[in-house]
Amino acid sequence: MATYILRRLLLMIPTLIGITFLIFMLVALAPGGIGAALRGSGGTVDAGGGASRAEAEAYLEDRYGLDDPAPIQYLRWLSRISPVKFGARNTVLPNGEVVSGPRELRPPPLWRWFGDSIATPGSSVGQAGVGAAVVQELPKPTDSLALRDRTYREASQNYAKSRLAYVGARAEFLQRLGEYAKAIDRPDLVDYKGNGDADALEALPHDRSSPVYATLEAHGRALIGLHNAAQASRDTLREVLDANLFEQAGVPLIPGLLSVGTPDLGQSFSSGRRVSEMIAKALPVTMTLNLIALPIIYLIAIPSGMLSAIRKGEWPDVLVGSVVVALWSVPTVWAGVLAIGYLADNRYLGWFPVAGLHDNSVEIMRFLPSFDADGLWQRGYLLDMFWHAALPVLCLVYGGFAVLAKQTRAAMLENFSADFVRTAKAKGVADRSVVLHHVLRNSLLPLITMFASVFPAMLSGSVVIEKIFSVPGMGSMILESIALRDREVLLANTLIIAAVNILALLLADILYAMADPRIAYK
């Protein structure tokens, strides 16, 4: 059994990689590609005052690596979530934020047309310029935390500003390059954004007689200066990080080459928050709904299915079958809307709250129901949560109840006609014992299979319920990430749901062996 479980856990790795890669490529190949909504709205990232749309878009692509090929972006994401890290370890800041080294700068396009050389990584360390004062006053790991933190913040801000200026100027230069390509009668070297193809134009002799060349040259020389300043700031920040002023993430296996660390789910495009923090806030909400609904489903469905099987063809069987068909025919969306419209709306019954999982005054509530100083009864945190969760749980329960009750009835009817049941009855075994110890136990395998599918389905299927009842759980977060095409949030949720499905199937296999001694995994 241990070998089987280990093999299944190892097989999870390629399975999860395949699932996440498929979702990643579906998003990447969709119209607009990854981060399309972010590009269109400008996102929550400040691209600088007065920045043009092209400059803001170029900055977002540079910051999130959206200008790289999709497979490269996926490999970068995969390296972040992997517990095995290659290369230098990341830095853990005093506030708990994990930062990696600054990305390399792209060289200015066509820089050889306008200059003899450009700054390269490491060539500007110690030179006068942006961030040089920070290098001269670089603190030691033993200095005060405030001084070390301030040094890092200054270097990081200097680099962010200089890189933003360079990326914006690069976007402007590519626009001017498009005008130059049109002026020399090469419109085929201009893309749909109006940017010139620098690689193709570099292979051609540059036409200094073109009326737009002087403007292009001025932008090109300015771009080289901004690149050199950004490279100096990058070298400064790199030196600050290499000084090990803060704690390093993970545990080194081979210093500088291989380490083991906590998976990093990245940062949301749309909100700027860390995805792990968003999931840590939303996942307990979804799990609460499902952990309330799942026991209710089994406590109602299994006895109902047993009663229907025992009284086959009689009125209990007809009643349960009719209820099951009726419930299965009601769409979840419609049931949720009706529940809000009639059970929650004050114009009708108004028995339940319309949205959320807690009252606005939940922070001042006691945990259990009690009486306040004026003798008024207060619901308390626990009862308030159950009151708000009643309608969402009801919508989650009825669909799962219908499927499981029907499956229980079918499995028990199959075993009622088995030889071992007829033998037990012939020996005079009591009907109660026959049902509980022979029929029900041998009917557990289909029910275990249902458990392996019901729980993950509820985890992902609560998307609609949470949206209808404005519950801030995983479902609402998934729908928002799909609408915004937020790659990091979408991939993290895909990873979690896929892992839950695979682990549920593994748990079902283990329960099979516990329920039926004839099943063994070798």
Measure the CA–CA gap between 242 and 480, rounded to whole angstroms.
38
pLDDT (0 to 100) of residue 43? 46
Q: Tokens 């060539």 appear where?
A: 123
Measure the CA–CA gap between 470 and 88, rounded to whole angstroms.
43
Q: What is the CA radius of gyration of the chain?
A: 31
Q: 262 pLDDT exceeds 50? A: yes
Measure the CA–CA gap between 230 and 211, rounded to whole angstroms.
30
Q: Which of 188, 187, 185, 179 is nearest to 216 (CA)?
A: 179
pLDDT (0 to 100) of residue 222? 92
Lowest mean pLDDT among 134-138, 248-252, 450-454: 134-138
Angle CA 214–217–220, to nearest 5: 155
pLDDT tens-digit series, residues 10-30: 888 888 888 889 888 887 777
Q: 371 pLDDT exceeds 80? A: no
DSSP characters over 311-375? TTTSHHHHHHHHHHHHHHHS-HHHHHHHIIIIII-TTTT--S-SSSSS-TTGGGS-SS-EE-TTS
Which residues are within 8 A (CB) of 352 and not within 5 positions of it... i.e. 6 or more apart? 339, 343, 344, 387, 388, 390, 391
Which residues are within 8 A (CB) of 87 and not within 5 positions of it... i.e. 6 or more apart? 256, 257
pLDDT (0 to 100) of residue 246? 84
Q: Which helix (H) or strand (E) holds 272?
A: none
Mean pLDDT, the chain, rounded, equals: 78
pLDDT (0 to 100) of residue 265? 82
Neighbour order of strands in the sheet with 91-92: 98-99, 91-92, 247-248
Q: Is residue 422 within 8 Å of 438, Cβ to Cβ?
A: no
The whole-number average pLDDT for the span 313-335 is 81
pLDDT tens-digit series, residues 405-420: 888 888 888 877 777 7
The whole-number average pLDDT for the span 429-435 is 79
Share of the chain above pLDDT 70, in %: 82
The whole-number average pLDDT for the span 356-383 is 68
Question: Amino acid identity, residue 494?
Answer: T
Share of the chain above pLDDT 90, in %: 3
Q: 135 pLDDT exceeds 60? A: no
Q: 9 pLDDT exceeds 60? A: yes
At 55, is the pLDDT very low, low, confident or very high (cuts 50, 70, 90)? low
3-class SS string, 392-409: HHHHHHHHHHHHHHHHHH
The whole-number average pLDDT for the span 120-138 is 55
Q: 167 pLDDT exceeds 50? A: yes
Backbone angles phi, psi at 258, to 5 degrees: -145, 135
Q: 131 pLDDT exceeds 50? A: no
Q: Which of 401, 91, 395, 114 is nearest to 250 (CA)?
A: 91
Q: Which helix (H) or strand (E) holds 129?
A: none
pLDDT (0 to 100) of residue 345? 75
pLDDT (0 to 100) of residue 294? 81
Q: 456 pLDDT exceeds 70? A: no
At 44, is the pLDDT very low, low, confident or very high (cuts 50, 70, 90)? very low
The whole-number average pLDDT for the span 146-156 is 87
Q: Is residue 119 within 8 Å of 238, Cβ to Cβ?
A: no
Q: Which of 49, 65, 55, 152 is nearest to 105 (CA)?
A: 65
Lowest mean pLDDT among 36-40, 208-212, 263-267, 455-459: 36-40
Q: Is residue 177 within 8 Å of 203, Cβ to Cβ?
A: no
At 443, is the pLDDT very low, low, confident or very high (cuts 50, 70, 90)? confident
Which residues are within 8 A (CB) of 378 and not within 5 positions of it... i.e. 6 or more apart? 365, 366, 369, 370, 371, 372
Domain parsing of the chain, residue ranges: 83-260
Q: Is residue 309 within 8 Å of 409, Cβ to Cβ?
A: yes
At 133, is the pLDDT very low, low, confident or very high (cuts 50, 70, 90)? very low
